[in-house]
Structure 1
Amino acid sequence: MNSKIVWPFFLSSIKTIFYLFSFITIGLFLDSKYVVPIYKDSQHLATLVMLIGFSILFYRSTSRIRELMVYAVLIGFIGEHLFSIVLGMYTYRLGNIPLYVPPGHAIVYATAIYFCKESFVKMYRSQIEKVFTIFVLIYSTLFLIFANDIFGFVMSLLVIFLLRNKPRERLFFLSMYIIVAFLEIIGTHYQCWAWPKTAYGIFPFLKSANPPSGISLFYFLLDLGSLWLYKQRHLVTWKRMKEIRKLKESKVFS
């Protein structure tokens, strides 16, 4: 990335991703191994902070983002019970699904959307995508080498593979990868949750780090599910948007 655009990029990130990083660090700390010995019901504190953050972001968002946030909470609730409780993909500290987790998914989802909407980010989209792609490859490779994270490495490669022909979604999911990577490192360090040594605890050939590097792959399901629900409620508007987009593209390539 050109040195002249580093500072503006930093400022754009401060408004969105870095703010989220600070919120995650503080919120998860309240449910951490450091606070539990002092206050055993610390999970309730984390939930309170998360709901306050969710409410502020929800209030300041557009109607479309608000609706997507609601869908993200619903899908997050179902997904957490499926992957954690039913499939045993990971386990939370108390063996439950903390109430702060589903709204947390919505906050992460909305933050990634707002980051991609920053004017500076849109201006230098291709350069940022290249930097983020390099980060994904380096990050997952380091986890593979030093933590024997085969599971995370495979998922990271799948992220890159699935995005190769998805230019409209690429920056969003690369941003999501970085956000989720930070979230997972903080959450597992605080021992809010933990991942087994192999994928789902049942695939010995898929060794996993705690956390695995490419877990953001499953946020594809969150995004696809939220968008699908939104489309079902706004079919006419969505079809009109697609027609307008096709018209613009035809003018560009004509």
Structure 2
Amino acid sequence: MAIFELAHFPEPGVQAEHRKRDYFIAAFTFVTTAACLIIDSFAPIEMQTALAVCGWMFLLGFLWGECKYVRVQVLIAVAFATIGENFASLFMRGYIYRFENLPAYVPAGHGLVYLTAVALGRSGLFQKHARQIAVLVVVVCGAWALWGISGMAERQDTIGFLLFCVFLLYLFKGRSPMVYLAAFFITSWLELVGTTAGTWAWAEIDPASGLTQGNPPSGVAAWYCLVDAVALQGSSLLFKSLDVCSSWLQRRMDIKS
């Protein structure tokens, strides 16, 4: 079986619509994410609440224009990512925020990040140039991962290289490669901005495995791809379950009538 499979990639030359909404969501999230993380790097802890309120307002506003499937995916992503943040940061201490808490804006931020991955993944740009973008991502992320274990990086990044390998599995074996491709861009961006600004820092030694990791790990997008995969599969299972329940109730009503 081939390692790299393109069965779930759009066909070359596919006709795809360039929707301004998709690009606006992406541009908005890239800009506001950077602004939020930079502000939180020096502002008092109370500012996190104000940033959270703004985040939820914009997220709910964007979701107003989405279908029910995307809305449910975003809600699942927010719930799963928030649980993961509490475990990975507050309990395991794999990375630590500036005030050693879970900032109030993080749940809404994860919702915006997931929605951005969906919007970019379905955009005309990504649909038409899927294979070229995939090559770019693999080359850039691969070079980053190799640099992290080469001895030239400030910190040895064994975890980053392993996560890069996991990311490749998501990209070429997963059923939603366009979402994972888009996730690489937005998640790498927010991780580089957040760690550079000092909003959070990754532990030099991963507490779960004892392996070295960068700040951030080079393949950190793989963690976000896990959130995306849970959101996509979770929403699918939820709607299938609702359909089964609806069919069962309908049969019961038919029998009684």
Q: What TM-score range do you get, normalising by the shorter chain?
A: 0.7 to 0.9
Partners in 2 of 1:16 and 1:183 — Cα distance? 15
Tell me the equivalent position of 1:192. Answer: 199
Contact 1:30/1:46 (CA < 8 Å) preserved in 2? no
Superposed, which structure 2 residues align to 1:173-212 within 5 Å? 173-200=180-207, 203=210, 206-212=211-217
Tell me the equivalent position of 2:110. Answer: 105
State yes or no: 1:42 paired with 2:47.
yes
Partners in 1 of 2:73 and 2:232 — Cα distance? 7
- TM-score w.r.t. structure 2 length? 0.77
State yes or no: 1:23 paired with 2:28.
no
Between the aligned residues of both structures, percent identity stands at 23
Superposed, which structure 2 residues align to 1:39-78 within 5 Å? 40-78=45-83
Deviations along 1:211-241, one digit per CA (max 9) or x if unpaired, are: 11112212233123223331233117989xx
Q: Name the structure with the higher helix share.
A: 1
Tell me the equivalent position of 1:251. Answer: none
Change over 3 Å in CA distance of 1:164–1:55 after alignment to 2: closer
Contact 2:59/2:112 (CA < 8 Å) preserved in 1? yes
Contact 1:187/1:193 (CA < 8 Å) preserved in 2? yes
Contact 1:181/1:216 (CA < 8 Å) preserved in 2? yes
What do you get for the CA RMSD once the two structures are aligned?
A: 2.7
Tell me the equivalent position of 1:158. Answer: 166
For structure 1, the residue ranges without an aligned partner over 5 or more in a row are: 1-8, 240-254
Q: Which amino acid aligns with 1:19?
A: F
Residue 197 of structure 1, CA deviation: 0.8
Q: Which amino acid aligns with 2:143?
A: I
Partners in 1 of 2:163 and 2:202 — Cα distance? 15
Residue 44 of structure 1, CA deviation: 1.9
Higher RCO (CA 8 Å, separation ≥ 6 residues) = 2
Contact 2:95/2:203 (CA < 8 Å) preserved in 1? yes
Deviations along 1:56-98, one digit per CA (max 9) or x if unpaired, are: 2222222221111111111122111111122221111222211
Within the candidate set 124, 130, 149, 1:125 is matched to 130
Contact 1:27/1:49 (CA < 8 Å) preserved in 2? no
Q: Which amino acid aligns with 2:34?
A: T
Contact 1:12/1:115 (CA < 8 Å) preserved in 2? no
Q: Give the 3-state SS of the residue equivalent to 2:237 in structure 1.
A: helix
Q: Give the 3-state SS of the residue equivalent to 1:80 in structure 2.
A: helix
- TM-score w.r.t. structure 1 length? 0.78
Partners in 1 of 2:215 and 2:59 — Cα distance? 27
| Aligned positions, number | 224
Residue 155 of structure 1, CA deviation: 0.9
Partners in 2 of 1:220 and 1:161 — Cα distance? 10
Larger displacement relative to structure 2 (16-25 or 189-198): 16-25
Partners in 1 of 2:143 and 2:54 — Cα distance? 33
Contact 1:132/1:175 (CA < 8 Å) preserved in 2? no
